[in-house]
Each structure stands twice: as structure tokens, then as C-alpha cells.
Amino acid sequence: MNFEFDAQTEEMRETITDFARERLAGPEDFDPGEFRRRWRLVGEQGALGTVVPGEYGGLGQGAVTAAAVMEALGYGCTDTGFVFSLGAHVFACLTPIVEFGTAEQKRQWLPPLCSGEYVAAHAITEPEAGSDALSMRTRAERRGDVYVLNGGKSFTTNSPVADVFVVQAATRPGGGCFGLTSFVVEAGTPGLTVGRHYQKVGLRGSPTADVRFDECRVPASQMLGPEGDGFGVFRTSMAWERTCLFALYLGVMRRVLETSVAYAGERQQFGSAIGGFQAVSHRVVDMALRLEAARLLLYRAAWGLDRGSTDEVMPALAKLAVSEAAVQAGLDAVQIQGGLGILHGQAEAALRDALPARIFSGTNEIQKNNIARALGLGEKARPQAHPSRRGKN
């Protein structure tokens, strides 16, 4: 067992941290032009193409390196919403194209998506189909050489600025796991419209909106993977997202932990630094404990992805651990800073930005359901050995 990054990954992580700290600070309110400017900078740095093969403009790295890059971005950039948008672009959109795209689709889409010229959005969630993705109502009907899409999506990250959409639609309603199909749809395609940018409690630097499809005609050549394989595309993207995207919160927690330690060492009460009070010092220790435990789970899941593991338990466990730890870290940071913690600043921002982590990429309650089912609990469950009890994945 080796818990150290290789030399290349370590160098990349340090470079990305410095780059994010110096060049990715964002404005208070979302600004499309500023968002694009920083997006292109990240593309030039190579961070958008981490998992994309070199022949298409990427770095050709694996999940562990991709997670390390996201952790560095989360640590160095205080605009967590912007980093979240980067992760959604890479792991929910580029990764499916890498895994399922045809050679022509890869040549067409991956270079501009890696360079920062294009922004991608993954359209899957619907008002009546969030955790229950198989109940989506967006339809794709084949008519000759095109598919005609009709329906609506909600909570679509990056949609207000997206150039490309990875869309999930039902080609065989009621067909279960084999009834969904994925498509790559260009922004500006007639029949595709994007609603107003959401005002969210957290991740404010990430533009999010509803998307509508009204008789939207998509060439059959833009189908991603075979017809009926959309659920497989979705599961693959979620495995990457629940692992690598959540690494950004490791960086945020590390930053918050450091500022909490510094504050506790400087803030004086009753003639001494509050870090000397057991109630405060134990809270800080618990922050460090949750961070390190979550970090080990996440990189274990990334290690499995790099070895071709199809296990869904470790990504789910990692998502649970990181998101819950991030929320608690925000609460702890606010409590340590007292009145200052509820004013505008890093502590309250960390808490607001962490709250959505328990919801997106499948709610934590759904993750627990999936893990329980994999462990052999519940109706129609088939016992499955816990990853820690298995041999090689």
C-alpha cells in the first residue's frame, strides 16, 4: 500500500494549487464573461483534459490524478461553485464521451472541451425524476436519421453558458435500465431552450438553470453509445463524479481547517487563545479526523476506478463521507469563529457551498439505499461482499 502521489501527480497538484490561488478568484456575483475568462485559463493549464487521451488534447491521466487536481482546485480557489462547474464538465460530460463516444464524436467534441473553448452540461434531472432517474419523462423518438426530443430538465449545471449538452432521454418508455439513451446536443439547436439562472444558497459561482426540449431534432450520429445504453452511460459518469468531483471538497476542508487553526491560535478570550480551550481544540481535532478519513475513502474509490473496478459501493461511501464531513466542517468553522462566522467570509461560504453536496450526484439517502442493497439488505437484494473483504477488484 502506497499513500503517496507519484512525482508527476505531486508536481501537478502543487502547480494547480498556485495557479488556482493566483488566477481563479471570482466576483461576488456570477458574471458570464468572467466565468468564461477563467474557464479558458483552466483549459490552458490542462486541468479540463485530465482524463482525456493525449490524441484529443488531454493529459491522459487516471482517476487518482484527476482527484488530486480537483483537490488542488478546491484548496486554491475560494470560488467553490466555479470549481464545481469544472468538475461537472469533466466527469459528467467529458468522461462519458471518452468512454462511449465514437472516434468521430471524440475528434469533434473533446479538443474544444479540453481547451476551455467549450463548456458542457449534463441534462438528466427532471422535476419528477431526480433520484428516480428511470422515471424521466423526456422522450427521444426516432424519425429517420434524427431523434426528436421533447421534455424538460431541471438543476442543469452549466446550462446557462453551455455550448454542448449530454442529454439523457427515454427512447423506450417503461423499458427500465434499457429504455434510456444518451445524446450530445449542441447549444443553439432549434427546440433547445435554457431558462433563467437559479439563485442558490450555495455554489453561487456555478450557473444552473432549467432546460427545455420542444421538437428538438438531433442527428442520430450524435447518439452517445448504442440506443438503450443511456443508463450505462449515466452510471459510468456518476461513478467518476461521486469520486473525483467530490475531491474538491477535500481541498475546501483543508483550507477551512487551516484557517480555523489559525483563528483559534490568535483569538483571545479570558486572557488566552481559544485554541487552548478543550471545547475548541477537540472540535478542530474532529475536523481533521473527518477530513483524513474522507480523503482515504475517496482515493480508495479513485484507485478502484483506475483499475477498472465496477464496484459502486466505494464511490457511494466516498460521496457520503466527503459530503457529510464538508457540511460539518462548515458548521464547526462557523462555531469556532462565533459572531464572525455568520458574517460574509470563508466559514459561512464553506457551509453554504457544502450543503448541496448532500443532494447532487444522488442524495445521501439514496447512496445509503444503494449501499445497503449491495450489502444484501432489503427486498430482492443479492448479497455482495464489502470491498474491504474482497480480493483484487
Q: Which of 205, 326, 204, 254 is nearest to 13 (CA)?
A: 254
C-alpha cell at 88: 461537472
Q: What residue ranges in the chain does DSSP mark as E strands? A: 120-123, 139-143, 146-157, 164-170, 180-186, 192-194, 208-219, 223-224, 268-269, 272-273
- Give the Cα separation of 211 and 151 in Å (integer): 9
3-state helix, strand, coil in the chain (%, to 5): 55, 15, 30
Instruction: Pinpoint the alpha helices (H) of 267-312.
Output: 278-306
Out of 126, 241, 312, 348, the active site residue is 241
Q: Which of 352, 346, 186, 174 is nearest to 257 (CA)?
A: 346
Q: In this structure, how many other beta carbons lie within 10 angstroms of the beta carbon of residue 156?
A: 26
Would residue 241 show up in a list of annotated catalytic residues for this protein?
A: yes
Cβ atoms of 57 and 88 within 8 Å: the answer is no
Angle between helices 278-306 and 247-266 (to 10 degrees): 160
Active site positions, annotated: 241
